[in-house]
Amino acid sequence: MTTTSTKLLKNYINGKWVEAKTDKSQLVPNPATGEALAEVPISTKEDVDEAVASAKIAFKTWSKTPVPKRARILFKYQQLLVEHWNELATLITKENGKSFNEAYGEVQRGIECVEFAAGAPTLMMGRQLPDIATDMESGMYRYPVGVIGGITPFNFPMMVPCWMFPLAIAVGNTFVLKPSERTPILANRLAELFSEAGLPDGVFNIVHGAHDVVNSLLEHKDVPAISFVGSQPVAEYVYKTGASNGKRVQALAGAKNHSIVMPDADLDSAVKEIIAASYGSAGERCMACSVVVAVGKVAEPLLEKLQEKADEIKIGNGLEEGVFLGPVIRQEHKERTANYIESGEQQGAILVRDGRKDAKFTEDGYFIGPTIFDQVNPSMKIWKEEIFAPVLSIVRANTLEEAIEVANESDFGNGACLFTQNGSHVRYFRENIEAGMLGVNIGVPAPMAFFPFSGWKNSFYGDLHANGQDGVEFYTKRKMLTARW
Ligand code: NAD
């Protein structure tokens, strides 16, 4: 990695940029070039304590600030994010590697969360029953929970933090965010713009770092709730540790999403959707399509068309015109992906397209081309584990029932898609597939901000999902009032 002008990032505490109390840091490379963009401090418990203390003090006034006044700051924030759309998307592409178009779309998904959160006055409403008995009434009132800890992954530096802090803050909480140490830069810009929108100091704080920051949040007595998004083992750890410390936790985890293609599907449209879902964001999406289950005679023409379209994909720096497939996040991740490809070959899958053979593979950035395996089965490592890279596995099945059985064998249950023209297939799929976010003739069925992001099985730990009414429930607690007059 070359290090030109590396800037050591600061934490954002109580409305000020403060140096982390640590001498440990990590370089943040641009995955497309290897050039260092910044240095991220690996903060300590002391930094977390300072941020939580500031958030705790801010909570006293912020939680009592009338909700329409809080919402007005969210409206202003939305406006600023829209004004800085290109700048934010460029930052995402630089630190994450995804194409500018993808990054632009990610900014949109982030802005949508802010728009949803700006509806806080309506979202916060309680419920009343005026006559539970003679002269007696009962009502439910909502209140914020306190200081929320948010821990986020590298793959959506804007959208995932925006699943958390805008809504949490709009309903009256204060927030300490620990962004991924692999993509920490954008978060600081999000904080600056929020402050410019009029957010009082201490309401939103950022502590950069890794495990120590996470553990300090999980153990902190003044943090009653944790929102986590990341890989499955860490999600499970965060859920169990947070819950054993008496916190409410929502932990969104890894995935292995299956797309079932029926013989009656519109093949060109299915291929377009699958290519975008498998290779968009270099496969580094929790809603990526990593397995296609081809039913019956569709397998051969589908494979042929997928191969053809994969060959047309332009690989490169996401800021260059026409690039669709950027690098994966780190050199180690590229090597890990190459190891998965080897394991697929060793376990007998047929390597139809080998991303290690694309010219970019040997360049400075962490590039790996679109890869396709055929004849994959559930005993193989490439089927079982989340690779999180542009590697697509094809499993063959004879019937829809058999295809759903294969998908349901997975330990994960984030998303699943069906490509068909037949309504009864759709119904059978909806009723029998064990996944929480379904798509029909659509590749990435990620719900919008006003619906919950509803992973099942090992793709989610907790009860209330991120976003939508679930998010409102997660970030509020209730009081029931029973009164006689
Ligand atoms: P990751 O689990 O490595 O990191 C996520 C966060 O946890 C980071 O902030 C990291 O610093 C922290 N962390 C990592 N290891 C830790 C440990 N041992 N102890 C304490 N904290 C730790 O995940 P990632 O590689 O950044 O992100 C990719 C993963 O996130 C994929 O598995 C993807 O499917 C998942 N993801 C899921 C969703 C969803 O909605 N289900 C959305 C986006 C990403």
Q: How far apart are CA 272 and CA 379, in angstroms?
A: 28
**CA angle, residues 388, 111, 104, in degrees to nearest 5:** 55
Answer whether 253's CB lies under 8 Å from 236's CB.
yes
**Nearest-10 Cα torsion for 327, 330, 335, 338:** -30
Answer whether 165's CB lies under 8 Å from 144's CB.
no
Report which ligand 1 atom has the smallest distance to the Cα of 459: 41
Q: In 10 A of CB 335, how many CB atoms?
A: 13
Is residue 356 scored above 80 in pLDDT?
yes
**Which tokens belong to 198?**
């009029």
ipTM of the prediction greater than 0.90, yes or no: yes
Backbone angles phi, psi at 274, to 5 degrees: -70, -40
Residue 1's pLDDT band (cuts 50, 70, 90): very low
* Residue of minimum CA distance from atom 13 in ligand 1: 211
Q: Dump pLDDT digits (tens) for 121-174.
A: 999 999 999 999 999 999 999 999 999 999 999 999 999 999 999 999 999 999
Question: What structural domains does the chain harbor?
Answer: 7-252+453-484 (3.40.605.10), 257-440 (3.40.309.10)
Query: Can you tell me the mean pLDDT for 388-406?
Result: 98
Answer whether 446's CB lies under 8 Å from 453's CB.
yes
* Residue of minimum CA distance from atom 23 in ligand 1: 230
Q: Residues 6 or more apart from 23 whose CB is under 8 A from it?
A: none
Answer whether 480's CB lies under 8 Å from 264's CB.
no
Q: How many residues does the chain have?
A: 485
Q: Dump pLDDT digits (tens) for 256-283.
A: 999 999 999 999 999 999 999 999 999 9
Determine if the pTM surpasses 0.90. Answer: yes
Which residues, listed in sequence order, are joined to residue 460 by a DSSP beta bridge? 252
Residue 101's pLDDT band (cuts 50, 70, 90): very high
Q: How far apart are CA 71 and CA 294, in angstroms?
A: 48
8-state DSSP, 190: H
Query: Can you tell me the mean pLDDT for 39-59?
Result: 98
Q: In the structure, which protein residues have their CB atom closer than 6 angstroms to any atom of ligand 1?
A: 151-156, 160, 178, 180-181, 210-211, 214, 229-231, 234, 252-255, 286, 386, 388, 414, 453, 455, 459
